[in-house]
Amino acid sequence: MGRPGIILLREGTDTSQGKPQLISNINACQAVAEAVKTTLGPRGMDKLVFDGRKVTISNDGATIMALLEIAHPAAKTLVDISMSQDAEVGDGTTSVVLLASEMLKQVKEFVEAGVHPQVLIRYMRQSAKLAVETVKKLAVPFEGEKGREMLLKCAGTALNSKLIASHQDLFAPMVVEAVSGLKSDLSDLNLIAVKKVPGGEVRSSFLVKGVAFKKTFSYAGHEQMTKKFIKPKILLLNVELELKSEKENAEVRITDPDQYQSIVDAEWSVIYEKLDKCVDSGANIVLSKLPIGDLATQYFADKGLFCAGRVDVGDMVRVGKATGAVIQTSTNGIAPEVIGNCGMFEEKRIGDERFNLFTECPSVETATIVLRGGSEQFIEESHRSMHDAIMVVKRSLKSQAIVAGGGAVEMEVAKVLREESLKIEGKGQLVMQSFARALEIVPRQLADNAGYDATDVLNALRKKHFHEQDGKWFGVDIKEGGICDTYEAGVWEPSINKINSLAAAGEAACVILSIDETVRNPKSEQPGAQPQAQQGRQGGGGMSGMMGNAMDIANNGARRGKLGHGVNYMKGRGGG
């Protein structure tokens, strides 16, 4: 080291600045979009992603984006919007990525020509706002009677682009049925279970209006149980019904060998007491989160009850919702109101699995969809598709408005934007026009993926939208090629889907445009040590470290010790 240079930042810090940085960010985003764009639409192709352990076949944008493990910091923004679209709407995850990258691509030339990014951002935001308003204006509200039909079509459209598209006549009504059963205000998706049973044929999938779950592991005596009840009473427990030591740290010391038998008897009577109480409650079916052992199973079988132990928590909650039963952590004081009931219970064979089915429940707040299919990957993908469809129906119910899909709404918004842009003076006009052009990527890609000439289709669409009053719902005709009125054809999507994806794509594009410098600090050398300091910075971290056992607080000595720990963290960050 001859003459020490001026080291402003830590050694190994990498910075890049200016226009080239922006262009490279845009290029990275395009590369990401390139990877997912062929999955768009009904004729989109699937991707097989192998992450070293598991093979996933999917055409769900969010799934693919998550599996791609994108490392580029700017391109990660696209993963973010895809995820947020998934969380907010559940569908349209590919199109949001595609839109964002296309917007960037369209404004890239302006960046290269030296237009200040802030100018671009300002008009991009304005355009995105206008686009969202236009979609809101175009949206067709639900009408009471036709509501269900509309939901069916929305579900159908969502399923159309998925693997199980050819069976949408089966699945769409199933999804609508399941979702409309839910209470509309706070519909929790956990209340719709999707159970996967490999084997059989797709079309033998079915919907249970109630709860279904796979028969749990059972002990001897299970065969003798009644497997079918009409109007049974149901008891849900969180109690282990097995012979076992009552308490881990308890010890029995006896002075007299005669007492030995009494202790054994006592243990037996403890469990018999519990079992008796279950039976006395009047229940026909006993379910428990925890294991139900040999003895209990046999006992219940003798008394003509059905029991299942180690039931999944989610299933327990659903049974509770459907039957009105409340999970009990104790067998003492079981009140009549915590016992649930339903119209019908049976254990049924599905494929080579046995399922417990609760049907004709008093409050249809939950539903179970049993999916069948050949291979594991197929069922997995069907599951994802069902999830998307369920989300779409749920959102449609909430937003109560729909728009026509197939690129129709994008074309119409593009038209409105073009018209508006002519009213703007200056560079904004060009930015808004390129925003409009970016929207055309949806119909273009739809046509491309379906194997039609995208340019022809697009030209026809533009003409229709610009020149004809009733042309606003014309989109790509996937089946026949060319264009058609997608509203008439029943290709419908909830308007919130489009609103969210336009807003999110615009936002993401603006974020990427607004970055003019990247500074990458070297990764800390001791990955173990640093996160601790980070915890200290958040303040709560160090303190919550002491939350390990909350009882510590009562115990003064332990508290002091642990508090010291937390304080140390804070000290650690010292100079910042």
Partner 1 sequence: MAKSMALNSAAGLAGMLKAGHKHMEGVDGATLRNIEAAKGLATIVRSSLGPNGMNKLVINHLEKIIVTSDCATIVKELEIQHPAAKMLELAAEMQEQECGDATNLTVSFAGELLKLCEDLLRMGLHTSEIVMGYKKAYEFLEKTLPSLVVENMEDTRNEAELIRICSPVLAAKQYGYENILAPLVAKACMQTMRKSGRASVTTDSVRIAKIIGGNISQSECIAGMVIMRGTEGSIQHAKGKVAVFACGVEASATEAKGTVLMKNADDLMSYNKSEEKKMDEIIKSIADAGTKILISGGTVSEMAMHFIERYGMMCIKITSKWDLRRICSATNSSALVRLGPPTPDEMGFCESVDVREFGVRKLCVFSQNPDAGQGCTVSTIILRASTSSVLNDLERAVDDGVNCISTLCQNGGLLPGGGATEIELSQRIKAYGDSCPGLEQYAIRSFAKALEFVPRTLAENSGQEPTDILAALQAAHANGKSNVGVDIEGGGNGTKEIGPDCLDLFAAKDSAFRLAIDATLTVLRVDQIIMSKPAGGGKQ
Q: Which of residues 236-295 bind partner 1 (CB under 8 A)?
A: 238, 246-247, 249-254, 259, 262-263, 265-267, 269-270
Residue 429 or 518: the one with the smaller Cβ distance to partner 1 is 518
Window contacting partner 1 (CB under 8 A); options: 74-82, 162-170, 222-230, 362-370: 74-82
**Residue 486: active-site member:** no
Give me the least distance between CB of 191 and partner 1, in Å please.
Answer: 13
Is 9 a binding residue for partner 1 by CB under 8 A? The answer is: yes
What span, in angstroms and rounded, lies between the C-alpha atoms of 170 and 174? 7
Q: What is the DSSP letter of 423?
A: T
Q: Within 10 A of 564 (CB to CB), how many other CB atoms are there? A: 10
Q: How far is the CB of 194 from partner 1 (least distance, A)?
A: 16
Question: Would you count residue 140 as binding partner 1 (CB under 8 A)?
Answer: no
Note whether 115 binds partner 1 by CB under 8 A.
yes
How far is the CA of 575 from the CAs of 15, 530, 569, 571, 572, in angstroms?
23, 14, 13, 9, 9
Query: What is the C-alpha to C-alpha distance for residues 323 and 130, in angstroms, rounded to an integer?
Result: 48
Residue 375 is a binding residue for partner 1 (CB under 8 A): no
Q: Is 246 or 488 the residue whose CB approaches partner 1 more closely? A: 246
Given the complex with partner 1, which of 151 and 502 has the nearer CB atom? 502
Least distance (Å) between residue 507 CB and partner 1: 5
Query: Amino acid identity of 416?
Result: V
- Contacts with partner 1, 22-61, as mask; x by CB under 8 A: ----------------------------------------
Smallest distance from the beta carbon of 54 to partner 1, in angstroms?
A: 23
> According to the binding rule CB under 8 A, does residue 116 interact with partner 1?
yes
Catalytic residue chosen out of the listed positions 94, 216, 331, 486: 94
388 catalytic, yes or no? yes
Which 303-332 positions form the footprint of partner 1 (CB under 8 A)?
Answer: 326-330, 332
Closest CA to 94 of 25, 33, 146, 139: 33
Please select the residue that binds partner 1; options are 69, 528, 551, 574, rule is CB under 8 A: 551
Binds partner 1 (CB under 8 A): choice among 144, 186, 349, 352: 186
User: Going by C-beta distance under 8 Å and a sequence separation of 6 or more, which residues neighbour residue 332?
Assistant: 277
Calculate the CA 206 to chain-centre distance.
22
Nearer to partner 1, 480 or 525 (CB): 525
Least Å distance between CB 198 and partner 1?
28
d(CA 524, CA 532): 12
Residues 394/217, Cβ–Cβ less than 8 Å: no
Annotated catalytic residue: which of 60, 315, 477, 485? Answer: 60
- Cβ(174)–Cβ(369) under 8 Å? yes
* Residue (370 or 499) nearer to partner 1, CB: 499
Smallest distance from partner 1 to CB 389, Å: 16
Q: Which of 39, 77, 93, 157 is catalytic?
A: 93
Of 34, 50, 54, 73, the one binding partner 1 by CB under 8 A: 73
H helix intervals, 49-146: 61-68, 76-88, 93-112, 117-138
Q: How many binding residues for partner 1 (CB under 8 A)?
A: 93
List all residues 6 or more positions away from 444 whose beta carbon is below 8 Å from its beta carbon: 407, 454, 457, 458
Q: How many CB atoms lie within 10 A of CB 267?
A: 15
State the nearest-atom distance from the C-beta of 181 to partner 1, in Å: 18
**Is 10 one of the binding residues for partner 1 (CB under 8 A)?**
yes
Contact 416, 130 (CB under 8 A): yes
- Tell me how far, at minimum, the Cβ of 376 lies from partner 1, in Å: 26
With both helix axes pointing from N to C terminus, report the angle between 495-514 and 76-88 in degrees, rounded to the nearest 10.
160
Phi/psi zone of residue 310: left (φ > 0), alpha (ψ -120 to 50 degrees), beta?
Answer: left
β-bridge pairing 367-373 and 192-198: parallel
Phi, psi of 32 (to 5 degrees): -65, -45
Identity of the residue numbered 343: G
> Residue 121 Cβ, how far from partner 1 at the closest point, in Å?
8
Residue 387 near residue 90 (C-beta atoms within 8 A): yes
- Which window, 46-54, 163-171, 459-467, 504-512, contacts partner 1 (CB under 8 A)? 504-512
Whether 94 sits among the annotated catalytic residues: the reply is yes
Interface residue with partner 1, options 81, 104, 152, 417 (CB under 8 A):
81
Name which of 397 and 450 has its Cβ closer to partner 1.
397
The residue from 42, 44, 117, 309 that contacts partner 1 (CB under 8 A) is: 117
C-alpha span between 464 and 460 (Å, rounded): 6
Structure tokens of 495?
């308007």
Judged by beta carbon, residue 52 or residue 575, the one nearer partner 1 is: 575
3-state secondary structure of 296: helix
Smallest distance, Å, CB 283 to partner 1? 17
Binding piece for partner 1, criterion CB under 8 A, among 181-189, 303-311, 340-348, 374-382: 181-189
The answer to whether 44 touches 161, Cβ cutoff 8 Å, is yes
Give the dihedral of Cα atoms 405, 408, 409, 411; nearest 10 deg: 150
Is 184 an interacting residue with respect to partner 1 (CB under 8 A)?
no
* Residue 40 CB coordination number (10 Å): 26
- Rule CB under 8 A: say whether 8 interacts with partner 1: yes
From 56-64, 81-89, 171-179, 375-383, give the range in contact with partner 1 by CB under 8 A: 81-89
Residue 67 three-state SS: helix
Catalytic machinery residues: 60, 93-94, 388
